[in-house]
Chains A and B, each alone.
Chain A
Amino acid sequence: MKLDLLTSLYVFMLAAFIGFEVIRRVSPLLHTPLMSLTNALDAIAVVGAIILAGVVHERHALLAKILGTIAIVAATSNIVGGFLITDRMLKMFKASGPKKP
Chain B
Amino acid sequence: MTNLPNTDIIIETTYLIATALFILALKWLSSPTTARRGVFAGELGMLLAVAGTLLNREIVEYKWIAIALVLGAVIGVPLGEVAMTAVPQRTALSHAFGALCVTLVGTAEFYLRAPNVPPFLMAVLSMEVILGSLTFTGSLMAAGKLQEVLPQRPITYKGQNFVNLGLLGIAIIVAGVLVAHPEKMYLFPAIVGIPLLFGVMMIIPIGGADMPTVISLLNSYAGLSAAAMGFVLDSKLLIIAGALDGASGFILSVNMSKAMNRSFSNVLFGAFGQEQAGPAAAQQARPVKSATPEEAAAILAAANKVVIVPGYGMAVAQAQHKVRELYDALTKRGVDVKFGIHPVAGRMPGHMNVLLAEADIPYDKLLDMDEINGDFPQTDVALVIGANDVTNPAARTEASSPIFGMPILDVDKARTVMVIKRSMAAGFAGIDNPLYYLDHTLMLFGDAKSFVGNIVRELTGGGGHG
Contacts and interface: CB of A to CB of B under 8 A. Distances in A.
Interface stretch (B146-154, B242-250, B429-437, B439-447): B242-250
A60 B366 CA distance: 54
Given A27-B32, A37-B26, A67-B104, A84 B77 contact: yes
B234 A31 contact: no
A54 B59 contact: yes
A88 B117 CA distance: 44
Given A30-B32, A33-B35, A38 B245 contact: yes
Interface residues of B, number: 112
Contact of B366 (A5, A29, A74): A29
B303 interface: no
Interface residues of A, number: 83
A38 B72 CA distance: 18
Contacts of B53: 47, 50-51
Interface stretch (B160-168, B285-293, B347-355): B347-355
Interface in A42-66: 42-57, 59-60, 63-65
B98 A69 contact: no
Contacts of B360: 92, 94
A93 B359 CA distance: 10
Given A28-B368, A32-B348, A39-B95, A44 B72 contact: no
Contacts, number: 363
Nearest to B109: A52
Interface in B42-79: 42-43, 45-46, 49-50, 53-54, 56, 58-62, 64-65, 67-69, 71-73, 75-79
B94 A78 contact: yes
A32 B350 contact: yes
Nearest to B219: A35
B70 to A, nearest CB: 8
Given A54-B58, A54-B60, A77-B75, A85 B81 contact: yes
Given A76-B69, A90-B35, 12 more contacts: A12-B239, A16-B247, A28-B353, A41-B46, A54-B58, A55-B58, A56-B61, A77-B79, A80-B79, A90-B36, A93-B35, A94-B362
Contacts of A15: 239-240, 243-244, 247
Interface of A: 1, 4-5, 8, 11-12, 15-16, 18-20, 22-57, 59-60, 63-65, 67-97
B252 A35 contact: yes
B307 interface: no
Contact of B343 (A28, A64, A68, A87): A28
Q: Looking at chain B's contact residues, is the secondary structure mostly helix, strand, loop, or mixed?
A: helix
A65 B243 CA distance: 27
Given A45-B229, A46-B50, A40 B215 contact: no
Contact of A72 (B69, B79, B107, B248): B69
Q: Looking at chain A's contact residues, is the secondary structure mostly helix, strand, loop, or mixed?
A: helix
Interface stretch (B83-91, B265-273, B387-395, B406-414): B83-91
B257 to A, nearest CB: 14
A69 B100 CA distance: 12
B46 A38 contact: no
A18 B244 contact: yes
A25 B30 contact: yes
Nearest to A39: B94
A97 to B, nearest CB: 7
Contacts of A25: 27, 30
Contact of B98 (A32, A45, A68): A45
B49 A44 contact: yes
Interface string B226-248: 11011101111111111111111
Residue of B33, B65, B102, B120 ringed by the most chain A CB atoms within 10 A: B65
